[in-house]
C-alpha cells in the first residue's frame, strides 16, 4: 500500500450507509494549505481524506466513492491533469474542482478538457471554495449522473453496487470498475490486457491474468451468462454486437 497521507480511515467507512457524511478527497501538496483546508472543511461537516501527491490521489480516487474531489494541478509524482484524465478514462465521474495557479488560463482550459467540473484560481478564500464545493455537490446530486444501465443491470456509482432484478449486489472496488467498464462497452470483445489497463490502479495487481479471477467473481454474483469468454481474444459482456 503506497498511500501514506490519508485521514479518516480509522472510522469504519460504510460505503452503503445512507446517512453518511459527505466525503471529500482533498489533493494538495502544500502541507500548510492542505491542513488548513482540511480543518476548514471538517468544521463545515465534511469528512476529508487527504493526498499529497498524484499517485496517492489517483489510487484513493479510484478506490473510494467520494462525493467530490478538490484537486490541485501542480503535484509531485503525477500531475493533477494526469490524475483526472486517468479517472475519466476509467469512467470515474466523481465531481472534481481543480485548483489552478492565478492567471494560468491554459491550466483552466486543459482542466476542463480533462473533465474538471469547476475551478478556483489560487489564492482563494476558503468561503469561496466551500460555496463552490457545495454547489458542485448539489448539482451532481440533482442530476441522475453516475447511473449506468446495460443488459438489465443498473450500476450505482454512489453506492458502488449493482441492481439486478431488484436486488442490490455489493461490489469490491475492482469488481465495480470492471463491471462498469464492461457495461459501458457491452457487446464488444475486450482483451484481458485492455481490461487490466482500464481497471487497475498503477499499483500492485497489473497482472492481466488476475482479470480472470475478477470476471469469475462477477459471474458468481450476476450469473455465469453475463460475461462470455472468447478463446484467445478476451471477454464479451452481454449479447455480442
Ligand atoms: Ca501544488
Is 32 within the bounds of a domain? Answer: yes
**Strands 153-156, 161-164: pairing kind:** antiparallel
**Ligand 1 centroid to residue 14 C-alpha, Å:** 31
Q: Are residues 178 and 111 in the same domain?
A: no
CATH code, domain carrying 47: 3.40.50.2300
**Ligand 1 centroid to residue 143 C-alpha, Å:** 31
Q: Are residues 98 and 22 in the same domain?
A: yes
Q: Are residues 135 and 24 in the same domain?
A: yes
H-run or E-run covering 37: helix 31-43
Q: Are residues 19 and 131 in the same domain?
A: yes
Assessment of whether the complete model's pTM goes beyond 0.75: no
Q: Which residues are near ligand 1, the ion (C-beta closer than 5 Å)? A: 29, 72, 74
Q: Are residues 85 and 120 in the same domain?
A: yes
Query: Closest by alpha carbon to 116, among 64, 60, 68, 176?
Result: 68
**Ligand 1 centroid to residue 71 C-alpha, Å:** 9
Q: Are residues 85 and 129 in the same domain?
A: yes
- Omega before residue 123 within 30° of 0, cis: yes
**Ligand 1 centroid to residue 225 C-alpha, Å:** 47
Is 5 within the bounds of a domain? Answer: no
- For the chain, the first-to-last Cα distance in angstroms comes to 39
Which pLDDT belongs to residue 85?
A: 94
For the chain, how many structural domains are there in total? Answer: 2
User: Residue 24 in contact with residue 49, Cβ under 8 Å?
Assistant: yes
**Ligand 1 centroid to residue 70 C-alpha, Å:** 12
- All 3 cell numbers of residue 205? 495487481
For 74-107, the pLDDT digits (tens) are: 999 999 999 999 998 888 889 999 998 867 778 8
Close Cβ partners of 59 (under 8 Å, ≥ 6 residues apart): 2, 3, 51, 201, 202, 203
**Ligand 1 centroid to residue 116 C-alpha, Å:** 17
**Ligand 1 centroid to residue 95 C-alpha, Å:** 20
**Ligand 1 centroid to residue 241 C-alpha, Å:** 45
Rounded to whole angstroms, the Cα distance separating 43 from 72 reads 21
Q: Are residues 131 and 16 in the same domain?
A: yes
For 55-71, the pLDDT digits (tens) are: 999 999 998 888 899 99
CATH code, domain carrying 170: 1.10.10.10
Q: Are residues 175 and 231 in the same domain?
A: yes
* Beta pairing partners, 170: 161
Which of residues 168 and 240 earns the better pLDDT score? Answer: 168
Long-range Cβ pairs for the range 11-18 (8 Å, 24+) = 11/47, 13/64, 15/64, 15/65, 15/159, 15/160, 16/159, 16/161, 16/170
Q: Which domain holds residue 86?
A: 11-140
Phi, psi of 72 (to 5 degrees): -70, 145
Q: Are residues 23 and 84 in the same domain?
A: yes
Amino acid at each position: 500500500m503506497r498511500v501514506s497521507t490519508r485521514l479518516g480511515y480509522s472510522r469504519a467507512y460504510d460505503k452503503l450507509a445512507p446517512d453518511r457524511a459527505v466525503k471529500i478527497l482533498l489533493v494538495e501538496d502544500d502541507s500548510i494549505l492542505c491542513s488548513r483546508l482540511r480543518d476548514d472543511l471538517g468544521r463545515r461537516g465534511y469528512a476529508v481524506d487527504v493526498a499529497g501527491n498524484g499517485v496517492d490521489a489517483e489510487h484513493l480516487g479510484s478506490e473510494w466513492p467520494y462525493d467530490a474531489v478538490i484537486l490541485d494541478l501542480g503535484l509531485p509524482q503525477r500531475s493533477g491533469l494526469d490524475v483526472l484524465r486517468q479517472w475519466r478514462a476509467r469512467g470515474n465521474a466523481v465531481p472534481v474542482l481543480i485548483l489552478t495557479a492565478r492567471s494560468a488560463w491554459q491550466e483552466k482550459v486543459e482542466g476542463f478538457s480533462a473533465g474538471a467540473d469547476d475551478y478556483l484560481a489560487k489564492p482563494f478564500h476558503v468561503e469561496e471554495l466551500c460555496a463552490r464545493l457545495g454547489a458542485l455537490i448539489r448539482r451532481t446530486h440533482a442530476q441522475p449522473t453516475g447511473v449506468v444501465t446495460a443488459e438489465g443491470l443498473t450500476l450505482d456509482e454512489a453506492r458502488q453496487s449493482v441492481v439486478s432484478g431488484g436486488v442490490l449486489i455489493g461490489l469490491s472496488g475492482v469488481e465495480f470498475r470492471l463491471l462498469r467498464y464492461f457495461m459501458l462497452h457491452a457487446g464488444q470483445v475486450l482483451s484481458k490486457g485492455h481490461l487490466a489497463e482500464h481497471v487497475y490502479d498503477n499499483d500492485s495487481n497489473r497482472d492481466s491474468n488476475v482479470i480472470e479471477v475478477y470476471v469469475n467473481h462477477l459471474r458468481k454474483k450476476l450469473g455465469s451468462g453475463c460475461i462470455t469468454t472468447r478463446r484467445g481474444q478476451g471477454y464479451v459482456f452481454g449479447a455480442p454486437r
